[in-house]
Every structure is written in structure tokens, then in C-alpha cells.
Amino acid sequence: MSDNTYTDLPDMDGLTQETPTAVERASFAIRLDGISKSFANAGEPLEVLKNINLTVAEHAIVALLGSSGSGKSTLLNIISGIVKPDRGQVCLCGAASDEFNDWCAISYMFQDDRLLPWRTAIRNVEFALEAGSLPKAERIQRAHETLKLVDLGRFEEAFPYQLSGGMRSRVALARSLVTEPRVLLMDEPFSRLDAQTRTLMHAELLRIHQIKPMTVVFVTHDVAEAVVLADRVAVMSPRPGTIREVVEIAFTRPRDVTQPEVTSYIQRLLALI
């Protein structure tokens, strides 16, 4: 299969993979067709991803779930444009990635908060806007509004060392949101938090998603986190990573891990990993 073809792809999620029209492309925030990636390993190619096909609808929350080494973070990096695939095509917001020019519409929240220790919370959030052409006063105003959105308006002048782990995660989330992205990519952003704080951050993310209905794709090892947050969970196989199954979470929010329906989904996903 050539890099730019959509034909002859396997059936995925019950949908026949046909050449999409411009309208069909525009209906998805993200579309991955035949994505494969290898890296050099002691002189030999290490196949990390193989023939990944996945679509993510506008405003959906999708989890990439799998064991370590299944290529989840690599796939997220390919979506973000940080890494180029060896084969296949990425479409973002209706355009092929090599034609896509609105990269400010894609935001990335890393596993570590990556806050600059010499900057206050508001200056850390403002940092995401400094590469653009916004006047300083507007940058500060947007950073101020976004910190209020994540309920940290009273801590604008606090430095990272003065904040708890959950508060630092909120600042990192605010920095990812201040650019007003259409797509938010998250690589295990809450994995370093304790269970109680992680639960609070889950609720915070869902609250913000209702206010600003962007598309969210996040990587996780945590099956319960995937079920609580996601509309769909793409379960990836061990290396080379493929999409083993995409599971629709057909259960209304809010979801709690003690609910029988949630427990049933957790058991189903555990059996697939």
C-alpha cells in the first residue's frame, strides 16, 4: 500500500475503509490510515507500529490503552507531528498532515508537568503563547482566564515549588488549553498523581470538556481511567503495536469504578490487553 492511499484497508469498527471525500474527512478531527513506524535498534529496525487505522470524531474523548511498549506514545507523537510515520497518512481537522498548517490547533500535555521553576503559574501558562504574535497584555489576559477555568485564579503568582502535585497538573493543563486548541493530546498526564488527586483531575477534565468541547486523545495504562473518561478506547497490542479492538463506552457520565457497568467494561478491556 502506498503512503497516500485509502483503498484496500481492512474493515475497522464495522466501517468499510474507502477513499474519503472532503466532507467525510472534515467530519473527523483525526484520521489515521495504515500508520507504521520503526526505529533503529542496535543497527536493526525495531517495528513499533504496524498498519494503524483509527478515526476520532470531533469533540470525542478517545483513550489509547495498552501495555508498555505497544507504541501508544509513539502514535500520539505521530498525531502531533513530532514523529513522522514510515508509512500511512495522518489527517487532522480535515487536512492531510503534510498540508496541515494550523498546528496551534493541536495542543500536547506531557506526562511530566514540565513547568519552568523560575516562572509563576501565570507566566508558565503565558509561555505557550509567546511564540505567536499576541500582544503581551492579551497573552496575560488569556493566561489569567485559563487559570480561572482550572480553578487556580488565586494562585497566579505562585511558583511551581509552592504548588501541590494536583495544582501543578492544573497549571500544565491550563498551559495546554490557553492556545484554545481544537485537539488536545495527553500522554499519561495524571499518572504521577495519587489516586484521590487523579480522580479530581478526571472530573476537572470532563468539566472543561463540556465548556470547551475539543477533541481529546490520551494515552493511559490505567484501564479504569480509560473507562471513566473515554467515549471510545482503542486497545493496542504489544509490539509491534496494532489496534486490537476499539471499544465504545456506551454508558453515560459521570462514571464511577464501583458501578457494575463500569466494572464490566474494565473486565472486558483487561481481557483484551
Q: Which residue has 507523537 as its cell numbers? A: 77
Q: Order of strands, edge to edge, in the sheet holding 61-65?
A: 106-109, 183-187, 215-220, 61-65, 232-236, 243-248
The predicted model scores a pTM of: 0.86
- Where helices occur in the chain by DSSP H, the ranges are 22-26, 72-80, 121-126, 136-149, 165-177, 195-211, 223-229, 260-272
**247 and 43 Cβ atoms separated by less than 8 Å:** no
Fold of 22-272: Rossmann fold (3.40.50)
Q: Extract the C-alpha cell encoding 258.
A: 464501583
Summarize pLDDT for 55-86 with one digit per residue, the tens.
999 999 999 999 888 999 999 999 999 999 99
First to last CA, the chain: 28
Summarize pLDDT for 93-148 with one digit per residue, the tens.
888 888 877 777 899 999 889 999 999 999 999 999 988 788 999 999 999 999 99
Summarize pLDDT for 14-23 with one digit per residue, the tens.
333 334 444 4
Burial class of residue 101 (count of CB atoms within 10 Å of its CB; 0-12, 13-18, 19+): exposed
